[in-house]
Amino acid sequence: MSGNEMKENGQTAEKEETHEHLPNIRRLNREELAGLMAALGEPAFRASQLHRWLYSHQAFDFETMSTFGRKLRQRLASEWSIRPASLADSESETVDEGSTTPLSTAKFTIRLEDGELVESVLIPSEERMTACISSQVGCPLRCDFCATGHMGFRRNLAASEMTDQAFLLDSEAMKLHGRGLTNIVFMGMGEPLLNLDNVFESIATLSEADYRFSISERKITISTVGLPAEMERIARSGLKTKLAISLHSADQGVRERMMPVAIDITLDKLTAAISSYNSITGQPVTLVYMLLEGVNDSPEEARKLVRFAKRGLCKINLIDYNSIVNLKFKPGCSSSKTMFIQRLLDAGLLVTVRKSQGAAINAACGQLATRQAR
């Protein structure tokens, strides 16, 4: 496929600025880059070189691609542009005043090439520097408590648009904290498993061993509401990434009311999908549970959660809810949180509790939506 063909297919908007009328080469995946180089009569290794220029050197100008001859550089520049996602806005919240170096969770609005906006969150701690990145503009699954769900679905992100979020947050982390990313979670706007090909492509680039930015697959977590077929695809892919499932209730009726997807994917189907994931990968899944006052924070709900978690190999992550997102819901109070933690620990489950880091800036799964969309 040539750049001009892509342009004729109407896949890019005509713009006045220099080069911006040309299609963005970062929208092509590895296979398509290989097809492009083959169509130009170049040997196969040129596609790997081009990928390295784009994502390891992060080149924004074909002229800098010094391993290519002048003719090839000019041909590429005449047909393609290089337009990465960019930072549009940021806000931060200091969360640990007592620390010698106060740690601020920061939320970034990222502008995509077509003007759409998504959000990414940088969550620092003493040991880690985590980027929470988005996989879709909006989300079709419409969970009731979720700001993104209320936006509706606009489009899937290209692999490079997810990769760019990690690059941007890595460089912001270096500026703000003097250290780069150690972990990535696909837990921002959207359901990553509905955009799995591009998520796989992005993970392959982010974990490419000898690239300038390289992170182990084991430090990457994919978060989902629990789509069985896609969970099996991940399990069989051989990826070493971790899997988190937004459970939020182990009661079928309560979960259905919070998450419409649960009407179709019942708790029984989810249990089967988790068991299958456990047996294929030998790895546990993390059940993410957001305590909501009067909704899922009763002792009975804690008992059901224990029973559900024990059906498979599961850890629990309790997270706080920010009621700014949807006033219909309120975060569970500290006594119900203590009761939940105790019951889970008494049952021998492994529990992590995410501090209310980022509450004021809505920094959590299901709690992101661009200000513009709001």
Does residue 192 touch ligand SF4 according to CB under 6 A?
no
* Cα–Cα distance, 132 to 107 (Å, whole number): 9
Q: Select from 3, 23, 84, 190 the one that contacts ligand SF4 (CB under 6 A).
A: 190
**Beta carbon of residue 188, minimum distance to ligand SF4 (angstroms, whole number):** 8
Which range of residues in 9-17, 141-149, 250-258, 314-322 is near ligand SF4 by CB under 6 A?
141-149
* Amino acid identity for residue 147 in this structure: A
Sorted by sequence, the CB contacts under 8 Å of residue 218 that are 6+ apart come out as 240, 241, 242
Pick the closer one to ligand SF4 by CB: 3 or 332.
332
Q: Based on the residue annotation, tell me whether 314 is a catalytic residue of this protein.
A: no
Catalytic choice (42, 113, 119, 201)? 119
What the block records as the tokens of 84 is 């990465």
Instruction: Kindly report the backbone phi and psi dihedral angles of residue 273, in degrees, each rounded to the nearest multiple of 5, phi listed first.
Output: -65, -40
Q: Is the dihedral of CA 167, 169, 173, 176 positive or negative?
A: positive
Binding mask 219-248 vs ligand SF4 (x if CB under 6 A, - otherwise)? ------x--------------------x--
**Beta carbon of residue 373, minimum distance to ligand SF4 (angstroms, whole number):** 12
Q: Select from 33, 103, 117, 146 the one that contacts ligand SF4 (CB under 6 A).
A: 146
Which range of residues in 120-128, 167-175, 186-194, 295-303 is near ligand SF4 by CB under 6 A?
186-194
* Cα–Cα distance, 124 to 217 (Å, whole number): 19
Does residue 142 touch ligand SF4 according to CB under 6 A?
yes
Which range of residues in 16-24, 49-57, 157-165, 183-191 is near ligand SF4 by CB under 6 A?
183-191
Does residue 351 touch ligand SF4 according to CB under 6 A?
no
Does residue 124 touch ligand SF4 according to CB under 6 A?
no
Instruction: Catalogue the E-assigned strands of the chain.
Output: 86-94, 104-111, 117-124, 129-132, 136-138, 153-156, 183-186, 220-224, 242-246, 285-290, 314-319, 351-353
Instruction: Kindly report the backbone phi and psi dihedral angles of residue 121, in degrees, each rounded to the nearest multiple of 5, phi listed first.
Output: -125, 135
Q: Based on the residue annotation, tell me whether 365 is a catalytic residue of this protein.
A: yes
Does residue 149 touch ligand SF4 according to CB under 6 A?
yes
* Cα–Cα distance, 51 to 73 (Å, whole number): 14
* Cα–Cα distance, 255 to 202 (Å, whole number): 31
Does residue 112 touch ligand SF4 according to CB under 6 A?
no
Does residue 119 touch ligand SF4 according to CB under 6 A?
no
Which range of residues in 20-28, 110-118, 137-145, 321-329 is near ligand SF4 by CB under 6 A?
137-145
Lookup result for tokens 């906006």: 117
Q: Are 365 and 246 in contact (CB under 8 A)?
A: yes
Does residue 143 touch ligand SF4 according to CB under 6 A?
yes
Catalytic residue numbers read 119, 365
In the complex, the residues that contact ligand SF4 under the rule CB under 6 A are: 139, 141-143, 146, 148-149, 189-191, 225, 246, 365-366
